[in-house]
Chain A
Amino acid sequence: DAKTTQPTSMDCAEGRAANLPCNHSTISGNEYVYWYRQIHSQGPQYIIHGLKNNETNEMASLIITEDRKSSTLILPHATLRDTAVYYCIVRTGYSGGGADGLTFGKGTHLIIQP
């Protein structure tokens, strides 16, 4: 799986859009980009994933550059409850027997300021 690089921490004002970058310059053609977050004392939560097209769901939008070497997770109207560690993970997905699980890096600690 391709390595990802994220800023250690970011601040965002409540009500504004939070834009979380992720670099994955060694991503290969069959690898997807997944985003998870972990709110303090809770289990990780799946947010969104994509291959090459931009994606949007009820939680966030995912913008993937045309060369797929980087992506941005956008929380359109951040609230205090969005304060969490956000993880960008690049995976091929399972291709044969059992899956071998996700590899979580250090992520970005997003702090939403009131």
Chain B
Amino acid sequence: DTAVSQTPKYLVTQMGNDKSIKCEQNLGHDTMYWYKQDSKKFLKIMFSYNNKELIINETVPNRFSPKSPDKAHLNLHINSLELGDSAVYFCASSPTSQIHLRETQYFGPGTRLLVL
């Protein structure tokens, strides 16, 4: 009964490749997110998305694009991978029924991306 799941757990790839990370939540939440945690352990928001609006952190390169086939999924596609993209990527979701509950986010286990 996993709430937020991500695949793959580990991803090792070469520079220049294109890769996708999948995220699924079974909590019935309307809003999903992608975060990046770098080697210094700082956790930063990349995207938030619901069926109405995509909000993009302006510091995220346009090589990164979220894709949502339905409300329960928010996948992250990365083009032309670079060494600096190596990090742990976390997916999260939250309810939208009440304003303050939107910040009660549920995180996935993370995808550890290593670009060689």
Chain A interface residues toward B at CB < 8 A? 32, 34, 38, 41-46, 49, 51, 85, 89, 91-95, 97-104, 106
B45 touches A97 (CB 8 A): no
Chain A min CB distance to B58 (Å):
11
Cα distance, A43 to B90, chains bound together (Å): 7
B108 touches A94 (CB 8 A): no
Tell me whether chain A's interface is mostly helix, strand or loop, or mixed.
Answer: loop
B57 touches A98 (CB 8 A): no
List the 10 closest pairs (A to B, CB-CB), nearest first. Answer: A101-B45, A43-B107, A98-B53, A104-B43, A93-B99, A94-B102, A97-B53, A98-B55, A93-B100, A91-B103
Chain A min CB distance to B116 (Å):
21
Chain B min CB distance to A7 (Å):
16
Cα distance, A43 to B88, chains bound together (Å): 10
**Which chain B residues numbered 71 to 116 have a C-beta less than 8 Å away from chain A?**
90, 92, 94, 96, 99-110
Residues of B contacting A38 in the complex (Cβ-Cβ under 8 angstroms): 43
Further contacts, 20 of them, CB under 8 A, given A38-B43, A99-B31, A100-B57: A34-B103, A42-B109, A43-B107, A44-B90, A46-B105, A85-B41, A89-B103, A93-B99, A93-B101, A94-B96, A97-B52, A97-B55, A98-B31, A98-B54, A99-B50, A100-B55, A101-B33, A101-B35, A101-B48, A101-B55
